Amino acid sequence: MIQEAEPVNDATFDGSVSVIMPAYNEARNIAGNLRETVETLSAMDCDFEVILVDDGSSDLTYLQAAKTIAVSPTRLRVIRYDRNLGKGNALMCGFSYARGEYIVFLDADMDLHPRQLPRFFQIMQERSADAVVGSKFHRESRVEYPAVRRMYSTVYYGLVRLLFGLPLKDTQTGIKLFKAELLRRVFAKVLVKRFAFDIEVLANAHRLGYRIVDAPVTLTFSRKFGRVKMHDVIDVLKDTLAIFYRMHILHYYDRQPVDLDPRTYGMPAVEITQTDLVGP
């Protein structure tokens, strides 16, 4: 759902930007959301690409997305694979196609508008950060989302802070900015491909000495019913504890390489072009 967002500020971009948008069953709104994203980034006067990754949707999200390629054929790319493997896998897969020096993770539902990105780049520059993470709990954030989600986030943040010592108040908000070099090193270590993916990435980046800071966001939760169910919450907790065990008990991550061929990240996928547009 497209919504009104903050005005673009005067932040400048020094370098190319790849915006990776994981999507699952977003066929209804994805075309409009992609057009809005391209238009917003174009107004920022930066060298960018938008990579939509269809995470095994059952509603032909990738076809609806591919129909928008004509809007900006040199800037918009659509990637897909057949089986739903989780947001983390989609982001890693998208990164394997990315060309940018800076990588943005952006949820495809547009609850978080890309017009907020200049502030993220400004914060990255001012604080000499390697990653800037959107935070619902930042004192300047404006958020509107269900009370139960707020409760889950508060409890989870407390646990993450206790286990990993991350200098953040929120890790799960769907807008993040990274230097590509950080992700190249960290993705070589990542095992979790679903809900605890963010924690594994950020905890490993922090352990490698990268500077991570948070940023305020404007968020309006557009879905009447969220996708996160109680069994998902339980799985997140299990995965988070497993990450702690691997990091602090087994020291698994310390034994892993700090760089791999990016083409090994995520499930093998295909890139859709306009010539592939058949069906509805």
- Sketch out the chain's domains with CATH numbers: 17-259 (3.90.550.10)
Note the pLDDT of residue 250: 97
More confident residue, 87 or 144: 87
Note the pLDDT of residue 4: 41
Question: Is the predicted pLDDT of residue 106 greater than 50, yes or no?
Answer: yes
Predicted model pTM: 0.90
More confident residue, 170 or 260: 170
Note the pLDDT of residue 1: 40
Which residues in the chain belong to E strands, given as ranges?
Answer: 17-23, 48-55, 76-81, 102-106, 131-135, 142-144, 175-179, 212-216, 218-220, 270-272
Note the pLDDT of residue 53: 97
Question: Is the predicted pLDDT of residue 2 greater than 90, yes or no?
Answer: no
Note the pLDDT of residue 98: 95
Average pLDDT over residues 234-252: 95
Q: How confident is the model at residue 45 (pLDDT cuts 50, 70, 90)?
A: confident
Among residues 54, 107, 198, 239, the one annotated as catalytic is: 198
More confident residue, 195 or 193: 193
- To the query of whether residue 198 is one of the catalytic residues in this protein, the response is yes
Note the pLDDT of residue 224: 52
Q: Is residue 124 classed as helix, strand or coil in its secondary structure?
A: helix
3-state secondary structure 21-51: EEECCCCCCHHHHHHHHHHHHHHCCCCEEEE
Question: Is the predicted pLDDT of residue 276 greater than 80, yes or no?
Answer: no
Question: Is the predicted pLDDT of residue 5 greater than 50, yes or no?
Answer: no
Q: How confident is the model at residue 156 (pLDDT cuts 50, 70, 90)?
A: confident
Angle at the Cα of 188 (from 136 to 193), degrees rounded to 5?
50
More confident residue, 228 or 122: 122
Tokens of 189: 């270590």
Q: How confident is the model at residue 84 (pLDDT cuts 50, 70, 90)?
A: very high
Note the pLDDT of residue 8: 45
User: What percentage of the chain has pLDDT greater than the value 70?
Assistant: 88
- pLDDT tens-digit profile of 58-68? 998 999 999 99
